[in-house]
């Protein structure tokens, strides 16, 4: 049975951008407002899953030729890397540092190593969720 999914595809085209933008926004908002690495990653993943639902795997893979297992691995590497990195500055494991820098146009902005850590979390979530959904749906 062939499902007519014109509506789904058309909606997806527009909605995916909103979802992905929301995901990125949530990721950066996390420091001072609701959001963060986990939720940001989850929203990004749900956007990608929506793409897979609307289109077939090959089409999406052409647009995003990532191996999502590697994305997840990269995420874990970032998360553990920032943890180990603190040892090189002679502070306890997993110490996070932050500072405020005046950036032209944006004004005073906070920079923190937590962002790298959270990026690791987000990438792991995206990688793992997509990997699981792809492996189950590709299974014969």
Partner 1 sequence: MVTVLIAILLPFVCAALIPLLYRRLRRVTHLGWFVISVPFILFLLLARYIPQLAEGKTFIHTYEWIPSFNINFTTYLDGLSMIFGLLITGVGSLVILYSIFYLSTKESLHHFYCYLLLFMGAMLGVVFSDNLMVLYTFWELTSVSSFLLIAFWHHRKASRAGAKKAMMITVFGGLSMLAGFLMLYVASNTFSIREIVANVGVIRDHALFTPALILILLGAFTKSAQFPFHIWLPDAMEAPTPVSAYLHSATMVKAGIYLVARFSPVFGGEAIWFWLVSVVGLVTLFWGSFNAVRQTDLKALLAFSTVSQLGLIMSLFGLGSVGHYYGYGESSILYTQASFAALFHLVNHSTFKGALFMMVGIVDHEVGTRDIRRLGGLMSLMPITFTIAVIGSFSMAGLPPFNGFLSKEMFFAAVLAIRDVEAFSIADVGLFFPIVAWVASIFTFVYSLILISRTFLGKLQPEKMDRKPHEAPLGMLISPIILCLLVVGIFFFPNVLGHYILEPAMASIYPTFPTTSELTPHIYAWHGINTELLMTLGVIIIGIVLFKTLKSWKPLYRIFSQKYTFNTFYNRMIEMSENGSEKLTRKYMTGNLTHYFVYIYVFFVALIAGYFIWSDAMTFHFDRDSAIESYELILVFVMIFAAVWMIFAKGRVTAMLLNGVLGYSIAFFFVIFRAPDLALTQLVVESVTTALFLLCFKYLPDLMPEVPRKRIQWSKAMISIFVGATVTIVGLAVVHYDRFEPVSIYFNDAYELAGGSNIVNTILGDFRAFDTMLEVVVLLIAGLGVYALTKLKPRKEEADHEN
C-beta of 13 vs 81, nearer to partner 1: 81
Q: Is 20 in the site for partner 1 (CB under 8 A)?
A: no
- Identify whether the C-beta of residue 56 lies closer than 8 Å to the C-beta of residue 5: no
Q: Is 51 in the site for partner 1 (CB under 8 A)?
A: no
Per the listing, tokens 């499902």 go with 3
101: three-class secondary structure by DSSP: strand
CA–CA distance, 137 with 119 (Å, rounded to integer): 27
Question: In sequence order, which ranges of 55-112 are alpha helices (DSSP H)?
Answer: 57-63, 68-85
Q: Is 38 in the site for partner 1 (CB under 8 A)?
A: yes
20, 24, 31, 61: which one binds partner 1 (CB under 8 A):
31
Q: Is 8 in the site for partner 1 (CB under 8 A)?
A: no
Element (H, E) at 34: none
CA–CA distance, 123 with 38 (Å, rounded to integer): 9
* Part of the chain binding partner 1 (CB under 8 A), chosen from 2-10, 54-62, 101-109, 123-131: 123-131
CA–CA distance, 75 with 136 (Å, rounded to integer): 22
Q: Is 15 in the site for partner 1 (CB under 8 A)?
A: no
Q: Is 121 in the site for partner 1 (CB under 8 A)?
A: yes
Binding site for partner 1 (CB under 8 A): 26, 30-39, 42-43, 45-46, 49, 53, 69, 72-73, 75-76, 79-80, 83, 93-94, 96, 98, 110, 112, 114, 117-118, 120-121, 124-125, 127-129, 131-133, 135-139
């Amino acid at each position: 049975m062939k499902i007519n999914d014109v509506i789904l595809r058309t909606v997806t085209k527009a909605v995916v951008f909103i979802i992905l933008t929301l995901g990125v926004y949530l990721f950066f908002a996390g420091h001072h407002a609701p959001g963060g690495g986990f939720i940001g990653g989850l929203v990004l993943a749900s956007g990608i899953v929506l793409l897979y639902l609307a289109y077939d795997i090959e089409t999406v893979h052409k647009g995003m030729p990532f191996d999502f297992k590697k994305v997840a691995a990269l995420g874990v590497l970032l998360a553990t890397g920032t943890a180990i990195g603190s040892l090189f500055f002679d502070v306890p494991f997993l110490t996070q540092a932050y500072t405020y820098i005046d950036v032209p146009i944006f004004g005073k902005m906070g920079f923190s190593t937590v962002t790298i850590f959270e990026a690791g979390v987000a990438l792991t979530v995206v990688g793992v969720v997509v990997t699981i959904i792809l492996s189950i749906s590709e299974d014969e």
